[in-house]
């Protein structure tokens, strides 16, 4: 199959009129975000279960993604984002995809809406904006950026050309607030000057000296209006601490909380303690979510590293060595056998009785690299040939040889650990066994190998001369 990857999801194009309820939702969405004339298509994706994935890819346009059904992770530039039922996420041209989540049994439907941020980009989507050979801006890119800036300036000009909005802005400027802060406050308050002034006072956006001078001049020149009274009342009020100010801003969003809570004395301390406790819980939840995302990332890396055809060396690449180890591999059960003085027929009958399809020969070799077998049919060359004829995958890795300072030292080295990782990889996919000299595993180097596998959480069963197995 080469580098082909089966994704398991199903895609289609959404046609208007298929779902009247969703058509109404789309109409509301387009109206709220102003995307009616800037969309380039609406798609549908169906994920039957957690094994359905979508490879990492990107588009030349932006995406608004509706997610319905079971929760799944969406990666955006390798950053995991957990999407739950009825969630909406909007992102740009970043790479994104849906990784495998085997523990998820439910299905999920996503509706990606492709759009361009501005009408100008919609019209220029197929034109080259930069020259790969020249890092300087192209003429088309300069035109696009200039048009975008002019559009933004025009939008601001039309926003404040309304007399009522401009009058509200002038009232805030007369009170001494900065222009940029006043504009932001008015937009947040729905252009209600009174609410905008309260937001600015609570946020401390007014200059104290300017407020005092403005109050003095307005009290000497004319009768104080309702803004002057509100300002004088705010200046005479109790000056809150930073913690109380943060709570007061929070209560602005919930009038019911603000009506029943006074930030003074013991009540303020109790509210502050509850707020700190809630923030601590939120930090814990954020930490746990980050851990979960990190675990998903590690699982995906291990799955990528385990893509191997079963021949050669699994741990050849740096990526595999960085992400695969005996302790992190999925826990498997493997067999072990010692040939002793068995006949060739008896040996392969025991392997067939236990359905062995992979045989790793861990017998040690001498300084010349030869394995001294008591019978010729147990030599490395003979085993390789006879296993091939019987459809058994065979590989010899000399563990415990003299040049590696014996089995106890060698089993901790990278060569032995990589061989055991390969054995665990095969054990996950077919019945696998490793070979030693002695029929009794207690008198053989197989005991050390089995101890290493068991200490990493795997299971080892030893085959005796009758074909029965014994747990290690």
Task: Dig out the tokens for 436 from the structure.
Answer: 């030693």
Q: Measure CA 390 to chain center.
A: 45
Q: How far is residue 68's CA from residue 84's CA, in Å, rounded to a whole number?
A: 7
pLDDT at 255: 53
Task: Dig out the tokens for 104 from the structure.
Answer: 């998820």
Q: How far is CA 220 from CA 109, 214, 226, 236, 293, in A?
A: 67, 10, 16, 19, 63
- What does DSSP assign to residue 443? G
Q: Which of 422, 212, 232 is nearest to 334 (CA)?
A: 422
Q: How far is residue 382's CA from residue 404's CA, in Å, rounded to a whole number?
A: 25
Do residues 460 and 450 make contact, with C-beta atoms less than 8 angstroms apart?
A: yes
Residue 291, SS3 per DSSP: helix
Q: How far is residue 339's CA from residue 73's CA, in Å, rounded to a whole number?
A: 50
Partners of 340 in beta bridges: none
Q: How far is residue 97's CA from residue 65's CA, in Å, rounded to a whole number?
A: 12
Q: How far is CA 456 from CA 118, 330, 361, 446, in A?
A: 56, 10, 20, 16
Beta carbons within 8 Å of 255's beta carbon, 6+ residues apart: none
Q: Which of 358, 376, 367, 369 is nearest to 423 (CA)?
A: 358
Task: Dig out the tokens for 425 from the structure.
Answer: 């990889």
Region label for 176, one of left (φ > 0), alpha (ψ between -120 and 50) or beta (otherwise):
left
Other beta carbons within 10 angstroms of residue 415's beta carbon come to: 14
Q: Which residue numbers in the chain have pLDDT < 70? A: 1-9, 36, 118-158, 203-273, 275-276, 278-285, 289, 367, 369
Q: How far is residue 447's CA from residue 179's CA, in Å, rounded to a whole number?
A: 80
Q: How far is residue 412's CA from residue 386's CA, in Å, rounded to a whole number?
A: 31
pLDDT at 227: 47
Residue corresponding to tokens 């930069």: 130
Q: How far is residue 348's CA from residue 386's CA, in Å, rounded to a whole number?
A: 9
Angle between helices 226-236 and 208-221 (to 10 degrees): 130
Residue corresponding to tokens 């290493």: 452
Q: Burial, 374: exposed, middle or buried (Cβ in 10 Å; 0-12, 13-18, 19+)?
A: exposed
Beta carbons within 8 Å of 22's beta carbon, 6+ residues apart: 14, 111
Phi, psi of 320 (to 5 degrees): -65, -40
Q: Burial, 446: exposed, middle or buried (Cβ in 10 Å; 0-12, 13-18, 19+)?
A: buried
Across 374-452, the runs of DSSP E, i.e. the strands, are 393-396, 432-436
Do residues 77 and 94 make contact, with C-beta atoms less than 8 angstroms apart?
A: yes
**pTM attached to this predicted model:** 0.42
**In sequence order, which ranges of 79-189 are alpha helices (DSSP H)?**
119-123, 139-159, 163-174, 179-188
pLDDT at 447: 93
Q: How far is residue 310's CA from residue 425's CA, in Å, rounded to a whole number?
A: 9
Question: pLDDT (tens digit, 9 = 90+) per residue, 153-193?
Answer: 555 666 777 888 888 888 888 888 888 888 888 877 778 88
Q: How far is residue 115's CA from residue 118's CA, in Å, rounded to a whole number?
A: 9
State how beta strands 39-47 and 10-13 pair: antiparallel
Q: How far is residue 175's CA from residue 232's CA, in Å, rounded to a whole number?
A: 11
Q: How far is residue 387's CA from residue 383's CA, in Å, rounded to a whole number?
A: 6
Helices (H) and strands (E) in the chain, counts: 17, 17
Task: Dig out the tokens for 246 from the structure.
Answer: 């943060």
Q: Burial, 382: exposed, middle or buried (Cβ in 10 Å; 0-12, 13-18, 19+)?
A: middle
CA atoms lying within 13 Å on the CB side of residue 469: 17
Q: How far is residue 401's CA from residue 367's CA, in Å, rounded to a whole number?
A: 8
Q: How far is residue 201's CA from residue 206's CA, in Å, rounded to a whole number?
A: 7
């Amino acid at each position: 199959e080469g580098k082909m990857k089966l994704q398991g999801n199903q895609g289609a194009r959404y046609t208007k009129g298929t779902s009247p309820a969703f058509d109404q939702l789309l109409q509301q969405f387009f109206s709220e975000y102003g995307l009616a004339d800037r969309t380039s298509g609406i798609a549908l994706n169906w994920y039957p279960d957690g094994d359905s994935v979508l490879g990492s890819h990107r588009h030349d346009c932006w995406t608004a993604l509706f997610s319905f059904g079971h929760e799944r992770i969406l990666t955006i530039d390798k950053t995991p984002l957990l999407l739950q039922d009825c969630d909406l996420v909007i992102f740009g041209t970043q790479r994104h995809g849906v990784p495998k989540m085997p523990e998820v049994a439910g299905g999920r439907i996503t509706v990606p809406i492709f759009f361009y941020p501005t009408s100008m980009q919609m019209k220029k989507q197929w034109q080259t904006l930069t020259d790969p050979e020249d890092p300087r801006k192209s003429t088309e890119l300069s035109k696009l950026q200039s048009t975008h800036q002019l559009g933004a300036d025009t939008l601001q000009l039309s926003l404040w050309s309304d007399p009522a909005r401009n009058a509200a802005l002038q009232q805030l400027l007369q009170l001494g607030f900065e222009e940029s802060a006043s504009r932001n406050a008015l937009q947040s308050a729905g252009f209600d000057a009174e609410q905008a002034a309260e937001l600015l006072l609570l946020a401390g956006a007014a200059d104290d000296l300017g407020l005092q001078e403005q109050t003095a001049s307005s009290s000497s020149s004319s009768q104080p209006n309702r803004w002057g009274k509100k300002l004088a009342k705010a200046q005479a009020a109790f000056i809150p601490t930073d913690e109380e100010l943060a709570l007061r801003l929070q209560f602005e969003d919930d009038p019911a909380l603000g009506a029943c809570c006074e930030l003074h004395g013991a009540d303020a301390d109790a509210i502050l303690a509850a707020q700190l406790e809630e923030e601590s819980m939120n930090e814990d939840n954020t930490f746990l979510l980050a851990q979960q995302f990190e675990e998903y990332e590690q699982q995906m890396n291990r799955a990528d590293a385990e893509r191997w055809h079963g021949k050669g060396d699994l741990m050849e690449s740096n990526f595999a060595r960085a992400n695969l180890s005996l302790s992190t591999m999925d826990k498997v059960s493997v067999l072990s056998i010692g040939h002793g003085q068995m006949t060739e027929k008896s040996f392969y009958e025991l392997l067939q009785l236990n359905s062995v399809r992979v045989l790793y020969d861990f017998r040690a070799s001498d300084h010349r690299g030869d394995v001294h077998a008591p019978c010729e049919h147990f030599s490395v060359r003979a085993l390789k040939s006879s296993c091939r004829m019987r459809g058994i995958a065979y590989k010899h890795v000399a563990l415990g040889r003299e040049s590696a300072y014996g089995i106890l030292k060698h089993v901790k080295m990278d060569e032995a650990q990589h061989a055991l990782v390969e054995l665990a990889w095969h054990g996950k996919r077919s019945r696998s066994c490793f070979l030693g000299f002695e029929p009794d595993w207690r008198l053989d180097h197989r005991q050390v190998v089995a101890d290493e596998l068991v200490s990493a959480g795997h299971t080892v069963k030893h085959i005796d001369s009758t074909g029965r197995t014994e747990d290690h």
